[in-house]
Amino acid sequence: MLELYGTSLRSRLLLGTARFPSPAVLTAAVRASRAEVVTVALRRESGGERAGQGFWSIIRELGVRVLPNTAGCHSVREAVSTAHMAREVFATAWIKLEVIGEEDTLQPDVFGLTEAARILCAEGFEVFPYTTEDLVVADRLLAAGCRVLMPWGAPIGSGRGLNNLFGLTALRAHFPAVPLIIDAGIGVPSHAARALELGFDAVLINTAIAQAGDPARMAAAFAQAVEAGRAARRAGPIEPRDLAAPSTPVIGTAFRE
């Protein structure tokens, strides 16, 4: 079981709800993914075509937990205000905190992020910060009160997978007891499996499923990949070697002089 702020979850796949071609496709994808948590960008949904009771009724019928998102915020003040609105709308202390600092890569503004996290944690929010793999930033976020971290694998929507394996591996090793969820950049199920094999606790997927040719089928593939990656991690993978190691032993086998 995955535990996030005292909530136990069976699934280690979280699903974003943006960019799906229709509510019906979104519904099918969420069900196929077996996800128990979906993210919702308050500003996007309140101003988009799916605003109103139609979209929220879909979420309620699916029986999933909502993780509101401050997507699109570029300042501490903007992110904190959006979080306050999200708490009122969704009646939850959970908030996925984004403070974007660079437009081309959508890289987090880690300075604004840590400040916003400090404010929100002090106000009783349970913060899921979208961050980088930087160890110092991670330490500051934990000191601010965060109990979960969401490092990026690659820029949002890029589908590049895990760009910095060294940095992500170091992050996992430095904070072994902290739930770490890879957020952003995952493009195919093998990327998700790799993340779980490295010891990360979960992945958050949006674009790779929403923009797939068959979102429901892709969601099911990601669900299987996450389970396989987790099982492989628990099974204890062998360490990589530079030289070959024969799988068939020589001692005791027949030979000819």
Round to whole Å and give the CA distance between 54 and 132.
35
| Cβ 196 vs Cβ 233: under 8 Å | yes
State which amino acid sits at residue 172: R
Q: Which of 34, 96, 140, 191 is catalytic?
A: 96
Say how many C-beta atoms besides its own lie within 10 A of residue 225's C-beta.
Answer: 23
3 state SS of 173: helix
Give ∠ CA 129-116-56 in degrees, rounded to 5. Answer: 60
State which amino acid sits at residue 30: V
| Cβ 233 vs Cβ 197: under 8 Å | yes
Say how many C-beta atoms besides its own lie within 10 A of residue 4's C-beta.
Answer: 20
Closest CA to 69 of 104, 89, 43: 43
Active site residue 17: no
| Cβ 42 vs Cβ 82: under 8 Å | yes
Residues in the chain: 257
185: Cβ contacts below 8 Å, ≥ 6 apart: 152, 153, 154, 155, 156, 157, 158, 159, 160, 161, 162, 163, 191
Catalytic (active-site) positions? 96
